[in-house]
């Protein structure tokens, strides 16, 4: 496993980030603990979660599962770079949502309790909060840093303008601001290339792509026996629209001698600003299979072919101006 600094920070994170969204809703606690132990065994030190993970009726359950795993000791907490998120409502009460100073304080304390730890390495805003001014956000985050409850701040699902605005406001306060941005990014969904990645490169943020296989559509869907079960609703509509490209993609992966899922992850690792794609295994086997992507080396010609199959975007305004 190789490591890189997360954005411009001195924080070293593994090339792959263990996403825990399935822990609880899809994966039971014992298996979740086994996956986290296996991840450490493979030198994955970067774990991502959120306060709402756990299912609609069990917000916070995923953090609780991780907390009980930390409580087993053995250096588990010390070995992990822990990232969690806040934004969405945890209950019907008006102030238990967003990134107001009040909710930042309450949400952080609640996450710390569920996670059974006294600090969070990377505290991320799950969405932009247009109703809260940046001076309020940064003042609240500064307090958490001063208290030792969080070490770094990250964003998720921000636009390029949001990143610029956040960083300029932080700079005016002599505060470090954001070090990471978590966005949907994969071969078929490349919108962040227009403005988010340029902003991240300019301000020193590491990109953490989520949905690297686009819900399994880049994971060899044509060959999988369970493809009929997976292709329903919006996924089926998307697949029908992209089928010619996916056919070319899987044929190209076969010519390289690699599985489509491994090529998709390897492509992300070759992109500017990308720090660590987020993988979300439901089983230990899925975790182990994800590691094969680290063995894939894509040449410049290979990357060019993938761009031909799944065209990306130029940096704005060139993308739409000429």
Per-residue pLDDT reduced to its tens digit, 208-224: 999 999 989 999 999 77
Residue 227 has pLDDT above 60, yes or no: no
Residue 226 has pLDDT above 70, yes or no: no
CATH class of segment(s) 3-219+260-298? alpha beta
C-alpha distance from residue 93 to each of 89, 98, 108, 115, 137 (Å) = 8, 12, 17, 23, 20
* DSSP E strand boundaries for the chain: 3-5, 12-14, 17-19, 46-48, 81-86, 120-125, 150-156, 178-184, 206-210, 278-279
Can you give the pLDDT at residue 230? 58
Q: CA 27 to CA 35: how far, in whole Å?
A: 10
Tell me the catalytic residues.
53
Q: CA 215 to CA 196: how far, in whole Å?
A: 22
Can you give the pLDDT at residue 133? 98
Q: Would strands 120-125 and 150-156 be described as parallel, antiparallel, or unpaired?
A: parallel
């Amino acid at each position: 496993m190789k490591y890189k600094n997360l954005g411009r920070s001195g924080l070293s994170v593994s090339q792959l980030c263990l996403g825990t969204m399935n822990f609880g809703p899809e994966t039971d606690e014992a298996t979740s603990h086994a996956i986290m132990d296996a991840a450490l065994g493979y030198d994955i030190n970067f774990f991502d979660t959120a306060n709402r993970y756990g299912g609609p009726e069990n917000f916070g359950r995923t953090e609780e599962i991780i907390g009980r795993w930390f409580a087993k000791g053995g250096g588990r907490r010390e070995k992990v770079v822990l990232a969690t998120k806040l934004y969405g409502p945890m209950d019907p009460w008006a102030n238990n949502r967003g990134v107001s100073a009040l909710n930042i304080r309450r949400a952080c304390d609640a996450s710390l309790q569920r996670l059974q730890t006294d600090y969070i390495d990377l505290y991320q805003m799950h969405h932009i909060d247009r109703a809260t001014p940046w001076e309020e956000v940064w003042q609240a985050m500064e307090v958490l840093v001063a208290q030792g409850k969080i070490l770094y701040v990250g964003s998720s699902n921000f636009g390029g303008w949001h990143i610029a605005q956040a960083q300029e406001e932080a700079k005016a306060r002599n505060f470090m601001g954001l070090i990471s941005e978590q966005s949907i990014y994969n071969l078929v969904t490349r919108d962040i290339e227009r403005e988010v990645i340029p902003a991240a490169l300019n301000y020193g943020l590491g990109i953490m792509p989520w949905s690297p296989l686009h819900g399994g559509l880049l994971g060899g869907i044509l060959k999988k026996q369970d493809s009929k079960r997976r292709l329903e609703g919006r996924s089926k509509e998307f697949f029908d629209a992209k089928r010619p490209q996916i056919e070319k993609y899987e044929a190209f992966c076969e010519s390289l001698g690699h599985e489509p899922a491994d090529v998709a992850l390897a492509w992300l690792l070759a992109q500017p600003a990308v720090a660590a794609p987020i993988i979300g295994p439901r089983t230990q086997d899925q975790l182990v299979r994800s590691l094969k992507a680290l063995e894939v080396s894509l040449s410049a010609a290979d990357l060019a072919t993938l761009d031909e199959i799944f065209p990306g975007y130029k940096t704005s305004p060139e993308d739409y101006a000429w």
